[in-house]
Amino acid sequence: MKIFKKAILLATSTFLFGCRYAQTNHNDYGSYDVPVSYDYSDVNKFSLIWSEIFSVELDEYYVYFYSTTCSHCMDLKDFIIEKAIKRGDIYFVRSSSLDQFTEDPNKSIGAENPGEIWILGYPTLLKIENKICTKSFAGNDKIINELK
């Protein structure tokens, strides 16, 4: 009986420790794009308040106006944050009671101070060149086309 127990113990040990599962650690997704999800906290260094729209120390940059409750902004969030991280010239202004709304898409063109900035709604993207607003884009498609 002792010999039988030793044989079973030896056979079990061989099966447990003698063979190893070959595991490879790689992520080969081929031609698939793996989506990355971002949060606005990822671009805190690009956050502005309304009064700071013209205080950025770049000759050319964009200012993106958004609301965390806007469904269009949520659809655009990962795209715009990824662009901001890669480009370094997109700044974010979160919705507040200071926002000024208009129905004229060109009302901000030529603005040189925050009091002259008007947006159609969320999301809106303004281009600032040499401390003057030169372009205004409202809506996801227009913003995406501008930043491609």
- Residue 41 near residue 47, CB atoms below 8 Å: no
Domain ranges of the chain: 43-147
Task: Pull the structure tokens for residue 84.
Answer: 């901001």
Please state the CATH superfamily assignment of the domain spanning residues 43-147 in this structure: Glutaredoxin (3.40.30.10)
Block means of pLDDT (10 residues each) for the chain, 148 residues, are 56 49 51 78 94 96 96 95 96 94 95 95 97 96 95
Looking at residue 36, its pLDDT comes to 79
Q: What is the pTM of this model?
A: 0.76
What is the β-pairing status of strands 124-129 and 132-138? Answer: antiparallel
What is the model's pLDDT at position 8?
Answer: 54
Q: pLDDT at position 124, please? A: 97
Q: At 78, list the tokens.
A: 């990962």
